């Protein structure tokens, strides 16, 4: 049901009701890597059985075994405090955390959740979003009657229950008014070190990448709270997508009487959800297509419409308190955000970023009126970035559609940013979930990072003799070992069992960090690329998905500028479900792309003056001489590049959250396997 943008009147709704008892999801998941050369489309359940699910990226496994693992993941990753799901305050404890009161982040087991749910009598009739509709309506009518009697319509008696997350003093950037009423910030930050503010302002007109704030850790200017992302004071419309949701917590961050909401989510029954929310006139739901082989709606995106600017946000975090550093601060994520000012002249933006964003939103079935609102804002500053998506088609992408999504779309985006290169790359990838990856898949990702659209590896894979002509360019001959240098230049960061065990939240807070031993121990898994993922902020676990790319030599962009490196920040983990697989159609012999997840992210380049190149090399050499970033050198790669220089290259543009160089696996160091740790 699409919202009508003209002349709408909105009713308010109360979110102080108790959360519902979450239903465990039951999903069939298919391993795309199990039959790497297959062009068959294997059907799966098109809908998740729960809006609130486990943020896993599992791709294979026995259905019954997977269902049990998923139930445990849901119960544990929700991070419910003592008191059970029937205690409305047990999900948050936000006020206490801000006061420094110790919290219990222990999550109940599935049996504990079920037992406490059964003890909760009488059971309330809850809506699908976890809201007690009857109680909400009664409380709304009571408030209206009281306000009418007191003639104090501006008083909101729910303020006492709002989070006190903003009670602590913080530095802020005060907005100033420019000619024509456009809000401008006194500071025009281009560095990730700028201090965020909850006051509405175009604070990031050039774009920025931040770590998420985490309770108990000092703020150093490179992090951001969700309140500072939302800037709720004058927020008119919030379009948000996520895989996991904590509704009560989420709506506590807004002035719900002033803001309209469109939630883009995965659902088992669209009609049921729309019926449940039909009377919530400032809330609408959007359901991306989930038919065919689609596994999950995993993308994370916010379009925050303020009166004078649009804030576009691409986080790696779900809309849950622990992903945003609350619940005692056990998890960290990353956020890309950019503020786009309102235009005086209505004309369609022309940047590639805008075009790919619109393609993604249309495929998601977001209402055309909302997409049209984007034309009111100036996207010119997005020209140096790229919006990268994975759109599952329900079947496969054929014709030329495969070129603009998944890892093929990643290569296309790199090429359109003029970052295409044959120079060897060093790649460091942080993932919170790892699938059954292979050498072929990693070569695809490596070549895509050089700007290849997928046809190079595709041509080599289906060739019978070498050299082989590239499918779209017969004059270009490809050797069998093209791109094989990835093997010595690719590092994948994922936490070890010890890293999880010694983290602040411990194993019970690692329900959204997923991997399986049968994949790691499989004969085709490239174990040599795996590194332990330990946070710079000691004790935090990571839910990041970041791809860092560093060419051996800078890529020239103009006579005066060059790209030293670039990074992808988004929702895509290290799996073929997230990035897709290009296969050959059996009947037409043409390429087609199989994708199973909805994903999105942004490419952020590190652009410098050409004169800065020698200074950077000197700094890297100086850091090596001083022994910086070599604390774990005895445990890390013996290759020429072990990732130790990542902070030097990215420090002013994109935070590097993990400690580098990362320790190699082997001996007593083993990856974290969530499902097996619970058995």
Instruction: Using the Cα atoms of residue 469, residue 475, residue 476 and residue 478 in order, give the sign of their dihedral.
Output: positive
SS3 of 154, please?
coil
Judge whether 435 and 519 are in contact, CB under 8 Å: yes
300 assigned ligand-binding residue = yes
> In terms of DSSP bridges, do strands 334-341 and 473-478 run parallel, antiparallel, or are they unpaired?
unpaired
C-alpha R_g of the chain: 24
Structure tokens that stand for 326 in this block: 């609350």
Of 589, 568, 592, 569, the closest CA to residue 580 belongs to 592
411 by Cβ neighbours in 10 Å (0-12 / 13-18 / 19+) ranks as buried
Using alpha carbons, list the distances in angstroms from residue 502 to 212, 330, 505, 506: 21, 11, 8, 6
Compute the CA torsion angle 539, 542, 547, 551 (nearest 10 deg).
0
Judge whether 185 and 167 are in contact, CB under 8 Å: no
Of 428, 240, 210, 218, the closest CA to residue 338 belongs to 210
Judge whether 238 and 250 are in contact, CB under 8 Å: no
Structure tokens that stand for 145 in this block: 């009657």
Residues 6+ apart with CB under 8 A from 263: 240, 241, 245, 283, 284, 285, 286
SS3 of 210, please?
strand
Rounded CA-CA distance 521/527 in Å is 8
CA atoms within 13 A on the CB side of 177: 4
Residues 6+ apart with CB under 8 A from 575: 32, 33, 57, 59, 433, 434, 435, 436, 437
What letter does residue 514 receive in the DSSP assignment? Answer: B
Structure tokens that stand for 490 in this block: 């690719």
225 assigned ligand-binding residue = no
CA atoms within 13 A on the CB side of 486: 23
Which amino acids are annotated catalytic? 298, 543
Rounded CA-CA distance 332/113 in Å is 25
SS3 of 253, please?
coil
Judge whether 565 and 549 are in contact, CB under 8 Å: yes
Ordered DSSP codes for 188-204 = ---STTSPP-SS-S---
Rounded CA-CA distance 353/500 in Å is 37
Ordered DSSP codes for 291-326 = -TT--EE---EEEEE-SSEEEEEEESS-BSTGGGT-
Of 236, 200, 233, 230, the closest CA to residue 5 belongs to 236
The 10 Å CB-count burial string (b at 16+, else e) for 317-339 is bbbbbbbbbbbbbbbbbbbbbbb
What letter does residue 205 receive in the DSSP assignment? Answer: T
What is the three-state SS of 63-80?
Answer: HHHHHHHHHHHHHHHCCC
Rounded CA-CA distance 429/567 in Å is 9
SS3 of 628, please?
coil
SS3 of 530, please?
strand
Using alpha carbons, list the distances in angstroms from residue 617 to 148, 348, 566, 649: 69, 42, 17, 10
> Binding site for substrate: residue ranges?
300, 545
> Binding site: residue ranges?
300, 545
């Amino acid at each position: 049901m699409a919202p009508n943008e003209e002349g709408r009147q909105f009713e308010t709704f109360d979110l102080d009701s108790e959360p519902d008892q979450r239903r465990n999801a039951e999903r069939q998941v298919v391993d795309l890597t199990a039959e790497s050369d297959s062009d068959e489309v294997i059907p799966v359940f098109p809908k998740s059985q729960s809006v609130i699910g486990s943020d896993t990226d599992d791709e294979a496994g026995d259905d019954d075994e997977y269902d049990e693992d998923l139930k445990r993941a849901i119960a544990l990753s929700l991070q419910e405090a003592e008191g059970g799901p029937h205690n409305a305050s047990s999900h948050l404890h936000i006020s206490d955390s801000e006061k420094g009161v110790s919290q219990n982040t222990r999550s109940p087991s599935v049996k504990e959740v079920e037992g406490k749910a059964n003890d909760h009598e009488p059971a309330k009739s809850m809506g699908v979003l976890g809201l007690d509709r009857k109680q909400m309506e009664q409380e709304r009518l009571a408030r209206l009657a009281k306000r009418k009697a007191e003639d104090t319509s501006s008083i909101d008696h729910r303020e006492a229950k709002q989070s006190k997350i903003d009670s602590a003093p913080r530095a802020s950037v005060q907005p100033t008014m420019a000619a024509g009423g456009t809000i401008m910030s006194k500071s025009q930050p281009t560095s990730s070190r700028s201090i965020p503010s909850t006051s509405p302002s175009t604070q990031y007109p050039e774009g920025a990448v931040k770590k998420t704030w985490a309770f108990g850790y000092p703020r150093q200017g490179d992090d951001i709270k969700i309140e500072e992302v939302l800037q709720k004071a004058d927020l008119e419309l919030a379009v948000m997508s996520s895989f996991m949701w904590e509704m009560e917590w989420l709506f506590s961050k807004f002035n719900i009487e002033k803001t309209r909401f469109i939630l883009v989510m995965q659902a088992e029954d669209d009609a049921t959800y729309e019926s449940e929310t039909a009377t919530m006139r400032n809330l609408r739901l959007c359901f991306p297509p989930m038919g065919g082989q689609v596994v999950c709606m995993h993308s994370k995106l916010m379009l925050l419409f303020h009166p004078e600017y649009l804030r576009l946000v691409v986080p790696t975090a779900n809309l849950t308190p622990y992903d945003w550093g609350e619940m005692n601060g056990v998890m960290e994520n990353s956020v890309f955000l950019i503020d786009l000012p309102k235009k005086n002249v209505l004309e369609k933006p022309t940047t590639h970023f805008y075009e790919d964003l619109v393609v993604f939103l249309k495929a998601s079935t977001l209402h055309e009126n909302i997409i049209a609102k984007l034309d009111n804002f100036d996207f010119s500053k997005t020209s140096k970035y790229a919006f990268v998506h994975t759109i599952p088609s329900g079947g496969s992408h054929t014709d030329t559609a495969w070129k603009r999504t998944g890892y093929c779309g990643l290569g296309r985006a790199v090429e359109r940013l003029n970052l295409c290169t044959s120079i060897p790359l060093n790649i460091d990838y942080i993932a919170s979930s790892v699938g059954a990856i292979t050498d072929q898949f990693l070569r695809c990702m490596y070549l895509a990072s050089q700007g290849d659209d997928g046809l190079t590896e595709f041509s080599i894979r289906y060739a019978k003799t070498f050299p082989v002509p590239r499918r779209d360019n017969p004059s270009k001959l490809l050797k069998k070992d093209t791109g094989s240098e990835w093997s010595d230049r690719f590092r994948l960061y994922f936490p070890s069992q010890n890293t999880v065990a010694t983290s602040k939240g411990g194993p019970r807070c690692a329900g959204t960090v997923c991997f399986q031993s049968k994949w790691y121990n499989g004969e085709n898994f490239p174990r040599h690329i795996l590194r332990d993922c330990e946070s710079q902020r000691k004790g935090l676990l990571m839910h990041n998905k970041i791809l860092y790319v560093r060419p051996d030599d800078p890529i020239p962009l103009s006579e005066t500028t060059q790209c030293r490196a670039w990074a992808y920040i988004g929702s895509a983990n290290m799996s073929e479900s997230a990035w897709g697989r290009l296969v050959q159609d059996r009947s037409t012999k043409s390429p087609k792309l199989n994708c199973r997840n909805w994903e999105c992210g942004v490419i952020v380049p590190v652009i410098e003056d050409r004169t800065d190149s020698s200074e950077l090399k000197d700094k890297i050499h100086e850091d090596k001489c001083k022994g910086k970033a070599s604390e774990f050198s005895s445990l890390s790669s013996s290759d020429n590049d072990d990732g130790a220089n990542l902070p030097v290259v990215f420090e002013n543009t994109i935070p590097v959250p993990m400690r580098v160089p990362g320790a190699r696996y082997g001996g007593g160091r083993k990856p974290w396997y969530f499902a097996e740790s619970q058995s």
